Each structure stands twice: as structure tokens, then as C-alpha cells.
Amino acid sequence: MIKKEIAEMLIKQINLELHSGYIYMEFANYYEEKNLPGFAHWYMVQAKEELGHAMRIRTFLIDAGVKVTYSPIADTEKDFKDVKAPLISGLKHEQHITASINKIYEKALELKDHLSANFLQWFIEEQGEEETNAQNNIDKIELVGSSGSALYLLDKEMGRRED
């Protein structure tokens, strides 16, 4: 069964995933203000994905008979100096999440909690994608610049992200 220490770490990870969603919903608010509905949409989809991550951990724990409770979600950054700033924060945040997942994975291996280690492999792969997406968004905005018709077109592209 799941080791107690790992269960506690995973419950904290649920909070971090929900916090990620909170951060991205705040990005969406910012982009709405900036009349970039495509970016706002992209981050609302991302926020839903984060809820999915949280619920994936919740299900894993509950299926293993672990009692799950939630704790308060931390506040988020709200003032950004330009349209690129949230994207940079997003990448830093995903790197932080990757480090957290890796820490749980390494502890699971150390404690020979193979069930949890196996479960976490999906997240390790997912974090690779999350960091790539975050970096891609930065690359795109660096390519088109922070205003003008190219940004308008990029916003349209961001708006096509599927749920």
C-alpha cells in the first residue's frame, strides 16, 4: 500500500495542482483585460487541466484507502508588466511543479513504495509536456512581439486550443 509519508506528499501535491489552476485563471483574467481572449482561453483550458491533475491524485489516494482533505490555496501574482510576463511566470511555475513531482517520486523509490512511484511516472511525462508548452508560449510571443497584427493572429491561434 501507499506509504504514509508519500500519501502526505501527494495530498500536498493536490493543493499545488489546484494552486496551478488558480494561477492560470489569474493569467486568463489578465489577458481578458488586455483584449487577448485567445490567451485567456488557453489559460482557462490549462486551469481545467490542472484540476484534472489534482483529481487524478485524489482518485489514486482514495482508491488506496487514504483519507483526503483539502487545505487553503495560496494567493497568486496579479500585476504583470507586459503580456510576456505571465508566460515567464508560467514556465517558472511548471519547473517548480516538476521539482515537486520529482521529489515525491524519489522519496517513493527510497521507501520502496512502487505503487506510488509507478503512478507518478505519468506525472513525470506530463511535466515534460507542461514545460515544453510553457516554453513554446514564450518563444511565440518573442517571435511576434507584444503588440500589433502578429499578436492579434497569435491570439487567434491560442484561442483554438481544444478543451
Binding site for ligand FEO (CB under 6 A): 17, 20, 50, 53, 94, 97, 130
Q: For residue 64, what is the DSSP state?
A: T
Q: How far is the CB of 152 from ligand FEO (least distance, A)?
A: 27
Using the minimum distance from each CB to ligand FEO, give the nearer residue, 17 or 155: 17
Among 99, 101, 74, 94, which Cα is nearest to 137's? 94
How far is the C-alpha of 131 from the C-alpha of 159, rounded, in Å? 20
Q: How far is the CB of 136 from ligand FEO (least distance, A)?
A: 14
User: What dihedral do alpha carbons 77, 156, 123, 24 form, nearest 10°?
Assistant: 20
Among 75, 121, 97, which Cα is nearest to 14's? 97
* Contact yes or no for 127/20 (Cβ under 8 A): no
Q: How far is the CB of 92 from ligand FEO (least distance, A)?
A: 12
Using the minimum distance from each CB to ligand FEO, give the nearer residue, 51 or 153: 51
Q: How far is the CB of 112 from ligand FEO (least distance, A)?
A: 26
Using the minimum distance from each CB to ligand FEO, give the nearer residue, 83 or 97: 97
Using the minimum distance from each CB to ligand FEO, give the nearer residue, 20 or 137: 20
